[in-house]
Amino acid sequence: MVKRLLSWAKQALLLLVVAIVLSGAIDWWRSKDIDRTNLPPLVGTSLKKVPIDLASLSQDQAVLVYFWGTWCHVCNYVSPAVNSMATHYPTVTVALGSGDDNRMNQYLYHHQYDFTVLNDPNNSLVQSWNISVTPTILVVKNNQVVYYTTGFTSLPGLWWRMLTA
């Protein structure tokens, strides 16, 4: 019985290592076209009428940047984690092609999300940032990308990225 449990534990550990390496390789491939130091401006007014300027916000602190959409199925699983992170860390989210401000406010209210949202109904920000996958999550510090990931990301994964930035 103990040998069987050890065998399963080794297999689970090997699977975890393979998943981490594969995930890292995919993130590297998807981020190869992003200039990590010469970021396009991420400036605007949030849905709560708060001015946002990522360059100044990220000076001397890490900022979680989340590109997402109301239509994105994976975002339905990631957004609650981002909402939790937003209570502890500076967070800017960009809602892509998700409708007008009124519709976005209704969506946020319905899901009880309190994170800062820049609405991008025409996808102009996503184009300037060369984002091709949702969700895309970046950690930006001193206006430079420290971490980049796409697809599903867990709350522990977000915490780890922010703590090590």
Q: Where are the domains of the chain?
A: 1-32, 35-164
Q: Are 104 and 27 in contact (CB under 8 A)?
A: no
pLDDT band with cut points at 50, 70 and 90 for residue 133:
confident
DSSP sequence for 5-59:
HHHHHHHHHHHHHHHHHHHHHHHHHHHTTS-SSSPPP-EEE-TTS-EEEHHHHTT
pLDDT of residue 31: 66
Q: Compute the distance between CA of residue 101 and CA of residue 46 in angstroms, rounded to an integer.
A: 10
- Phi then psi for residue 150, to 5 deg, are -130, 160
Q: Domain 35-164 has what CATH class?
A: alpha beta
pLDDT of residue 143: 94
Task: Provide the residue type at 116 as one letter.
Answer: T
How do residues 67-98 score in pLDDT, each as one tens digit?
A: 999 999 999 999 999 999 999 999 999 999 99
Q: Is the pLDDT of residue 30 over 70?
A: no
- Cα 84 to the chain's mean position, in Å? 12
Side-chain-side CA neighbours of 21 within 13 Å: the count stands at: 6
